[in-house]
Amino acid sequence: MNELAHVADTLKSAVLKAANRANMHPRDVGRFPALEFQSLGRDDEGLYRASADLSDEHGSGYVHILLGRSSGTEPITAEQLRATGASCAEVVEPDGTSRTSSTWTSPDSEVGVITYRVVVVLPDQVFVDIQSANQDSRSSGQTRPEPPFDLDELTEITSHLRQ
């Protein structure tokens, strides 16, 4: 992963710490080891993903992380998220970091899926798109009442990117 390796390690560590605090246990997603970053193409394209199902006494949910450079792949925008029916809030911090937080709820009330998402673009164009859903990777509907991480927790996880 070269230059993004440190960011990937930082994210993985922050997610595992947050999961530990909440007494959640990561589980692999199909053939992908839990929270291990995988390249989505050639290494020089600089786009990686990691995911895990997280389970506790409330059920199993899903966390997904996309990491890259916006010079190669553009992160999803608030406008695109709103087009899916998500509610969004956008903030640009004094250092130029942009942060978009969104909540998407399945229009089908029987499915009951809620997805929280935080997209951060750092001044050096590294971006992170992290999502948490109350649906695990093995199902097509709600598998717990709320996603494993709420927007505040996702924001906290991404706040470690500058360290």
Would you say 142 and 111 are in contact if contact means Cβ atoms under 8 Å apart? Answer: yes
Percentage of the chain surpassing pLDDT 70?
Answer: 93
CATH number at residue 156: 3.40.1000
What is the model's pTM? 0.91
Mean pLDDT of all residues in the chain? Answer: 90
Q: What is the CA radius of gyration of the chain?
A: 15
Structural domains in the chain (count): 1
* Domain with 60 in it: 2-162
Which tokens sit at 159? 């706040």
Give tens-digit pLDDT for 59-83. 999 999 999 987 767 899 999 999 9
CA-to-CA distance for 88 and 98, rounded, in angstroms? 13
Would you say 130 and 116 are in contact if contact means Cβ atoms under 8 Å apart? Answer: no
* Other residues' Cβ atoms within 10 Å of the Cβ of residue 155: 17
Rounded average pLDDT over 6-21: 92
pLDDT at 5: 83
Rounded average pLDDT over 104-119: 90
Q: Torsions phi, psi of 121, nearest 5?
A: -120, 115
Give tens-digit pLDDT for 137-153. 998 889 999 999 999 99
> Which of helix, strand or coil describes residue 65?
strand
Does the pLDDT of residue 51 top 70, yes or no?
Answer: yes
